[in-house]
Chains A and B, each alone.
Chain A
């Protein structure tokens, strides 16, 4: 199911922060995780993901490092920063509150 762009604009960054919470990931890995763990609802192309990552990096919520992968190719890994963790915690609360409110309206499943 395709999600409206405006809704995606709010959900996308939080989803990426959440995916980075367990540990660092690289770009393709993030795209795969987003698609798989959200059953395709939060799937996004490279043209969306990389600008999103650069924005999060500009805000100091994530940091990157370049390394050489086992296949010999250069690869950039992204990880959550302390600020990113704090932001994720705040966003998590907001989404929980939002989901609860939508549930009471009959718009979110129990």
Chain B
């Protein structure tokens, strides 16, 4: 039965090519059904043509062209006297014919069409691939299998209780906090009389601090939450952390409130040393300095970087006050005290003696196990939880540890979650594998460890540029966790070098004082101190030659030539109207400071 084809104007309009419409011709040329219907051939032939053309699934214009051609062919055959059934029989398989016609006609389409088809298929393939990657990404879960906090605490727990300092510090803390020290730290500061009164009232806790400092180990067991005994000492009912995040559970979220307390103790000891010097109480002065440096050593033995840095700060506080006394009241300390202090200050030589990176390695591995899957063979991939962890960590680093939180509800949370899930698979594919990441990190830290054992001047050409993982945009994304974790270790080495520089200046100052007491005057040159008063002259950390020395108004000045490597005769650069003894010791290719790095005496104002 022939198919009924509409004859309406609208139908013809719909089947007219644009070219004809622009010429105001409603040709209806694209109506292939009409072409077949209007053909002067048998209905059986029309049926064959209709069936084949329909199966081609070509564009209307192509169908119309094929319909016309097939109709013409059948008509020619019938016109040549071939019976209709034979013509139909000789046509061949409809499906195959339609398939072959379609394939051939599609080949004939324009390059633009083929390009667009390729693009569509490529995009579909990419979308399919990305959907698969999304499923793969979402199925990943991190596995926390190693307790790195326990590893950090292993040395402490292996230490006998009698060797641990913290229980005594805690006892001092309870007393100290009831009566906090006033702000003045030096006799030259306003409010010093209040500090003096406080020091006299608090000799008991100060003695406890000295006893604690004499113990070989700091003895603090690091915890994720507050130690109940510390809370009791603080008079704190105990804080309950609300809404702990994965970061809080990791080593990165570890808080060390004891460091603030130790800094306060160090300030108290330093102030007491100054007071002891005023009273010419040699034992008190030496006791305070020994405690300061012992406390520094306790902290430097620890494996967390922050503890090492606090120890370095404690050390430089002690050196500062000691230099001040050596400069202004050198007779206060006994000869034996000078020898003992010189001995205590002779051990540290490089930055590696002041800070440890073991805790950093643990912290990074802890971060990785909380962000990556673990395939049991060292490999693994970034997980959704991991991406969120890294994002939260980066936000906290930039905006403050307490403030930066992702929105927890509402449209903000929905937006963040959905964009995270869309971008997450791409992040996973771009990120290094767990194995590769750890290998890169270990290689980086091994290099940093080596650099910390060198003097900065012996480091490669650019002393400030410790190796940076992730050169280039691609590597920055690939190794983003390492870049995010980066503690700016180059600045820590610079800081450590400055502390060691002050320490060397202090050692020489002690040796000069000892010489002066023996000979009645300072030596003309530093070499005269060797070997009786100093095993050797420390090298200038900038140029490697012996440190410089001169006498000004019969007072010694010890200095390094500074980063400009120009001997300015001990003249320190000026900052904010005052000489800054440290400024010329700051390694920086961009900042060539004119002046010398003065090691003794420092500016005490």
Contacts and interface: CB of A to CB of B under 8 A. Distances in A.
B143 interface: no
B224 to A, nearest CB: 72
B138 to A, nearest CB: 45
Contact of B108 (A27, A57, A66): A57
* A interface: dominant SS: helix
B92 A76 contact: no
Contacts of B40: 73
Given A27-B69, A58-B107, A76-B68, A48 B75 contact: no
B76 interface: yes
Nearest to B75: A73
A6 to B, nearest CB: 16
Given A27-B72, A28-B76, A47 B107 contact: no
Contact of A54 (B73, B75, B101): B101
A110 interface: no
Contacts, number: 77
Report the contact-size class of chain B (Cβ under 8 Å from the partner): 20 to 34
A47 B88 CA distance: 11
A16 to B, nearest CB: 13
Contacts of A73: 40, 71-72, 75-76
Q: B-side binding surface: helix, strand, loop or mixed?
A: helix
A37 interface: no
B357 to A, nearest CB: 68
Interface in A20-69: 26-29, 31-32, 45-48, 50-55, 57-59, 66, 69
A75 interface: yes
B87 to A, nearest CB: 9
Given A45-B90, A45-B92, A48-B100, A75 B72 contact: yes
Nearest to B48: A46
Most chain B beta carbons < 10 A, residue from A32, A51, A66, A74: A51
B101 A51 contact: yes
Given A73-B75, A74-B68, A76-B72, A46 B108 contact: no
Contacts of B97: 46-48, 50-51
6 contacts: A28-B76, A28-B77, A46-B97, A51-B97, A57-B104, A74-B68
Interface of B: 40, 52, 66, 68-73, 75-77, 79-80, 90-94, 96-97, 100-101, 103-105, 107-108
